[in-house]
Homo-oligomer: A and B are copies of this chain.
Amino acid sequence: MVNMADVARLAGVSMATASRALSDHPHVAPATRARVLDAAAELAYVVSPEASRLAGGVTDRIAVVVPHLSRWFFGALLDGLESVLREADKDLLIYHVGDAADRKSFFERLPARRKVDAVVVLGMPIARPERERLEMMGVHIVAAGGQIEPYPFVSIDDMVAGRQAVNHLLFLGHRRIAMIATNDPGQPGWPIRAGRSRAYHAALADAGLPADPDLAVTVPWGGAAGAEAMAELLSLREPPTAVYAHSDEVALGAIRTIRRAGLRVPEDISVIGIDDHPLAELTDLTTVAQPVRDQGALAGQVVLGLLSGAATDPGITMATRLVVRGSTGPPRVA
């Protein structure tokens, strides 16, 4: 069992300084604090939650861990979460973990600085070693816009959302349906939204359609990548008559490529997304809508419930729904 003396020794400071640095005392030079935190991270030192509670207790601060700040989905989650927590007079601390290095440093340093009452993770999967670091903090953990076993979460069911999208294309009569799945280049190796891919394969299998690996493309998230993925699909000898994209922004990129090729949406190729991004309505994009702001707000209520000691739902799954607009229609009769 590592104790504070070990941390002080490794950092080359006195016990008193190590204690001050770890308890976030103001009169510690930033460089010294950083050295102590690094030592604590290296030794996986954990501030005893008991001791910490005696020393500090309620901070009225909630940490929000978010992989992207400038994307609509995460902004809308944050918007909903903030509205509920502000009402309860909590402060939100934002931790943006944009890439693997950020992520590593965030989770390594986390347990040593118990500055918050709860951690909310927005739309981001968490690996087992990271979960262990989170748990060392001894604070409540909630996932919003995604699921992290075994914590309480507020999310949609990606499998259901994906089925709604692909079923709509099947119902319209499409038989050659492509999927543009997305991953996160900042967090390589993460199966982002795996349910949306499983839904595609399951829906095609249920419809008795053959699996054609050429029709399932995975690209980094974003409109430009969606445009490139669509070009790849148009380079096939027999391109799809319909495209299911994992998000609206990716779908809009695909539509640009289709139009640049001189083809019409939906007469030549139908396109459907997931999200109901604010621009989906403006661009007449058929999509599966999810309540993003509400997921954030409900997660805020889950946090407040946990802090007040109330029993909490292990998970809240919010409904998604098909929004039919002008980017989908029946395939042309061959």
Contact = CB atoms under 8 A, between A and B. Distances in A.
Interface stretch (A54-62, A145-153, A160-168): A54-62
Interface in A16-33: 24, 26-27, 30, 33
A220 interface: no
A293 B70 contact: yes
B223 A279 contact: yes
Contacts of A115: 91
Interface in A206-238: 222-224, 227
Interface of A: 24, 26-27, 30, 33-34, 56-61, 64, 68-72, 74-76, 78-79, 82-83, 86, 88-89, 91-96, 98, 102, 115, 222-224, 227, 249, 252-253, 256, 278-279, 281-284, 293
A247 to B, nearest CB: 12
A252 B58 CA distance: 47
Contacts of A227: 282
Given A91-B115, A93-B92, A281-B224, A69 B75 contact: yes
Contacts of A94: 64, 78, 82, 92-94
A197 B13 CA distance: 59
A96 B33 CA distance: 30
B282 A89 contact: no
Contact of A282 (B33, B92, B98, B223): B223
Contacts of A57: 26-27
Contacts of A253: 282
Given A78-B69, A252-B283, A278-B223, A83 B60 contact: no
Contacts of A82: 69, 94, 96
Given A69-B78, A82-B96, A30 B223 contact: no
Contacts of A74: 75
Given A58-B26, A223-B282, A278-B223, A86 B79 contact: no
Nearest to A25: B57
B83 A79 contact: no
Given A26-B56, A256-B284, A78 B89 contact: no
Contact of A96 (B68, B79, B284): B79
A37 B273 CA distance: 47
Nearest to A255: B282
A48 B123 CA distance: 42
B34 A89 contact: yes
Contacts of A59: 26
